[in-house]
Amino acid sequence: MLLASSVIWDLLSTLRTDDENNQRIGKASTNFGRLSSRVWKNHHLAIKLKIKVYTACILSVLLYSNETWSTYRRQKKRLNAFHFRCLRSILGVSWRDHVPNSTTLHLTGAYDLTTIMRQRRLRWLGHVHRMEDGRLPKDILYGEFYDAPCRTGRPKLRYKAVIKRDMAGFHISPQSWETLAADRNTWRTSLSYGYSLSATSYTEKMEKRPAHRRQRRDGPWWWPHQKLAASSAIKV
């Protein structure tokens, strides 16, 4: 009984998204290192060609089966950090050069990993929706547990919640997505439009981040006096 429980626990632990991310990052990092001398440090290749190789050989490994992931913020942050580290290596810059992420995306012509993952998930969602009834992926997507008890506390992140968040980032209405996904060309057009909106929104957010950090660091002139007065009042 203990052996069976340990085997089940080990199986469940390997299926967690954190473990999957670690494996994906490790394999993608290995492939990236193997192409370092021939591609990334090759001055005879254009940046545009290097990005195509990076998309085909690195991102395909990093985001393998990400269409079914329910990623939390910390997981997306780690994947995005690896993505930008690779892009900076392709450009030949390091973190000591203080090159912002928005500038890195502009120089490489690439997109942030959050936008790419959103597009892949929504594209897979359209494929599942257009499947015939009775197919296992469609039954799982639209299936619900009957009279399932809920545990106390915050529920875990569900795949449907991730899909709704992706739709919000692509400006797609959750009420009308099935009508759009029923036609493949219409769904691809909607995803292409939402892809550009999501990428633009991310770039604008990255450009505003340094100013926001300076504002939080410096603060208005009355902030230190107010903080000192509050601490004095607490002591009294």
**pLDDT score recorded for residue 10:** 39
Answer whether residue 87 is part of any domain.
yes
The model's pTM is 0.79
**pLDDT score recorded for residue 13:** 41
21 plus 106 within the same structural domain: yes
**pLDDT score recorded for residue 56:** 95
121 plus 196 within the same structural domain: yes
**pLDDT score recorded for residue 4:** 40
- The long-range contacts involving 152-159, CB below 8 angstroms and separated by at least 24 positions, are 156/70, 157/70, 157/72, 158/70, 159/68, 159/70
For the chain of 236 residues, list the mean pLDDT of each consecutive stretch of 10. 38 61 92 94 93 95 90 90 94 87 91 94 94 90 75 79 93 93 94 93 82 63 50 50
129 plus 74 within the same structural domain: no
**Residue entry with tokens 């809920």:** 150
Reading the block at residue 173, the tokens are 């209405």
How many folded domains does the chain comprise? Answer: 2
d(CA 149, CA 119): 33
d(CA 144, CA 117): 25
- Contact, 67 vs 121, CB < 8 A? yes
Domain span at 129 = 112-144+157-208
60 plus 122 within the same structural domain: no
**pLDDT score recorded for residue 14:** 40
**pLDDT score recorded for residue 5:** 39
93 plus 128 within the same structural domain: no
123 plus 204 within the same structural domain: yes
97 plus 116 within the same structural domain: no
**pLDDT score recorded for residue 7:** 38
